[in-house]
Amino acid sequence: MREINVSTITEAVKEMCISANLYLAEDMECALKNAAKEEDGKLGKQILNQLMDNLEIAKGDKIPICQDTGMAVFFVNVGQEVHIEGGSLTEAINEGVRQGYTEGYLRKSVVGDPLLRVNTGDNTPAIIHYDIVEGDSLEITIAPKGFGSENMSKVYMLKPADGVDGVKAAVIQAVKDAGPNSCPPVVVGVGIGGDFELSAKLAKKALTRKAGSHSKLPHIAKLEDELLDEINKTGIGPGGLGGKTTALALNIETYATHIAGLPVAVNMCCHVNRHLTKIL
């Protein structure tokens, strides 16, 4: 049994909160650079180059890539041979968020009650998804999520008879409905299967996969390519002002589902698509 003290976790989470908001993930930076080279539209290319300039300014001045530094979302794989000592794992993660968003001068965007709307002042509590896995390590992935794109996300409870064509139509419609409001070029996370809430979790987790990667399932990998191609034919373009770069990537995660259902969730994300993983 391997022991990890909560102080180690808090320190790691603090650093992750700051880094994820100041520096774009390498896969997303590559995707953005490639898009800027390949974009044909004059205005679209100009916007993409401005986004690249913004990244360099953020990196050089050590300021957030985007003013909306998001709600801190975590996917945590807990090795079943790990013992967390010194306190609560959840509290350790939230303390890391508290310290990271305070010391990093990141915008605090969390309200403690969805109706009373009083800001908690430190961007906690975080949203934490736990999975128990084999091994003796703790894998933490942070995905700070801004709500400009989050607000444009959708869940569809399709019928099995809708099939792959229904899935395609739902995803494309979600992107069209989002239009410029999700800050394109976007990354689209799609969750297919499970039930109502799991499909949404799958879609959010899909956003943490590297841009340009593919599902290990051949039919899903094919669907990823087809959907990305169709979305980029919509002409929404960078900033919603036209062009062929509406989406930088589209990732799909799937899970088993009920014989009577076909849940599909579409989680929209802006071009920064912040994500960072650390293994303790």
Q: What's the CA gap between 19 and 15, in Å, rounded?
A: 6
Grouping H, G, I as helix, E, B as strand and the rest as coil, residue 161 is helix
Per-residue model confidence as pLDDT tens digits over 148-204: 999 999 999 999 999 999 999 999 999 999 999 999 999 999 999 999 999 999 999
Residue intervals in the chain for CATH 3.30.1330: 147-274
**Beta-ladder partners of 111:** 119
Q: Which helix (H) or strand (E) holds 241?
A: none
pLDDT exceeding 70 applies to what percent of the chain?
100
Say what the pTM is: 0.95
In sign, the C-alpha dihedral spanning 47, 52, 55, 57 is: negative
Q: Do 27 and 187 touch, CB atoms closer than 8 A?
A: no
The 10s digit of each residue's pLDDT in 59-115 is 999 999 999 999 999 999 999 999 999 999 999 999 999 999 999 999 999 999 999
Averaged over 122-137, what is the pLDDT? Answer: 98
Question: Over the chain, what is the mean pLDDT?
Answer: 97
Share of the chain above pLDDT 90, in %: 99
Q: Determine what percent of the chain falls in helix, strand and coil, rounding each to the nearest 5.
A: 45, 25, 30
Q: Where in the chain is the domain with CATH 3.30.360?
A: 2-20+66-144
- In this prediction, residue 41 has a pLDDT band, given cuts at 50, 70 and 90, of confident
* DSSP H helices in the chain: 6-22, 26-38, 42-61, 89-103, 147-150, 163-178, 196-206, 218-232
Neighbours of 163 (CB within 10 A): 11
Q: CATH fold of 147-274, please?
A: 60s Ribosomal Protein L30; Chain: A; (3.30.1330)
> Is pLDDT at 29 greater than 90 in this prediction?
yes
What would the mean pLDDT of 121-133 be, rounded to a whole number? 98
Taking the C-alpha atoms of residue 82 and residue 145, their distance in angstroms, rounded to an integer, is 28
CA distance 219 to 254: 11
pLDDT of residue 240 exceeding 90, the answer is yes
Q: How confident is the model at residue 223 (pLDDT cuts 50, 70, 90)?
A: very high
Q: Which class in CATH covers the domain with range 2-20+66-144?
A: alpha beta
Residue 111, token pair as written in the block: 């309200």
Closest CA to 167 of 192, 189, 194: 192
Q: How many residues does the chain have?
A: 280
